Structure 1
Amino acid sequence: MSASEAVQTEAEPGGSWEDVRELPPSAKLVAKVLEYNDTMSQQQLAEETLLPARTVRYAISRLEEEDVIDSRFSFSDARKRLYTLAIDS
């Protein structure tokens, strides 16, 4: 671990797999899918996980509460958000 990573880890309380451990199975599944697919929209996550859109929304909100995912607006469609896992493996 570099010095900058150590500083970042100390500054940010969340962002580890430990934070995901106590979350519902749907949130764990969404986190794992993001780990393997880098950046995805909510619709892509629902298609990949085979979970209902409502369940994916709930999983995303729980992951955001734990600061383990980042979100940004899509450049191609500003109505959509793209999600990325914010856990260093």
Structure 2
Amino acid sequence: MSASDIQHAESEEEEGGWEAVADLPPSAKLVAKVLEYNDSLTQSQLAEETLLPPRTVRYALTRLEDVGVVGSRFSFSDARKRIYTLTIE
């Protein structure tokens, strides 16, 4: 991989946005869309909304976090849970 390829990859990561979601699996796209319509949800709420298995939701969230389009924070009501939010518009 050349220096220009690395620089291009880094600029794509910084851009984020729906372009970054386009190359992800369908489950990640579905999770992103559900988060677009809901301000913030836990992993179990996402599984309920998408009708995907929890393990698939967990994988989708990991992929979405890797490309920088989803952020997470601890839940104030239950510190064992994380709340996920879409960071793109």
What do residues 27-79 of structure 1 show as CA deviations (whole Å, max 9, x unaligned)? Answer: 00000000001100000000000000000000000000000001000000000
Partner of 1:46: 47
Q: How many percent identity over aligned positions?
A: 72
CA root-mean-square deviation: 1.3
TM-score by structure 2 length?
Answer: 0.84
Partner of 1:73: 74
TM-score by structure 1 length?
Answer: 0.84
2:15 and 2:24 map into 1 onto residues whose CA distance is: 13
Secondary structure of 1:67's partner? coil
Partner of 1:5: none
1:34 and 1:82 map into 2 onto residues whose CA distance is: 11
Q: Structure 1: which 5+ residue stretches go unaligned?
A: 1-9
Partner of 1:86: 87
Q: Which structure carries more helix by proportion?
A: 2
Q: 4+ residue stretches of structure 1 with deviation over 2 A?
A: none
Secondary structure of 1:76's partner? coil
In the alignment, is the contact (CA less than 8 A) between 1:14 and 1:66 conserved in 2? no
Partner of 2:31: 30
